[in-house]
Amino acid sequence: MLFCMALTHLVYVGVRELSDEDDVEESIKIIMAQCERDRERGIMPILTPEYQCEILCCAAELAKFTRKHP
């Protein structure tokens, strides 16, 4: 059930927010900068910045699919 919820969220975010490649690149830069600031303050993220970027790229790829309504 958790996997299903996560996948649904990725599709929703991908379709809503990540339709432009520039948005993805800008979001990756933001993630990496935030993680660098967190490291400097001694904050350890639950997810690595690389993993966060992979999730973001996955959402962007899912945004490319055409949704069909019944």
Residue ranges of domains in the chain: 33-61
pLDDT attached to residue 41: 94
For the chain, how many residues are written? Answer: 70
Please tell me the pTM assigned to this model.
0.64
C-alpha 46/C-alpha 37 separation (Å) is: 15
Query: For each of the chain's 70 residues, which pLDDT tens digit applies?
Result: 777 777 677 666 666 666 666 678 888 898 899 989 999 999 888 888 888 888 888 877 877 776 665 5
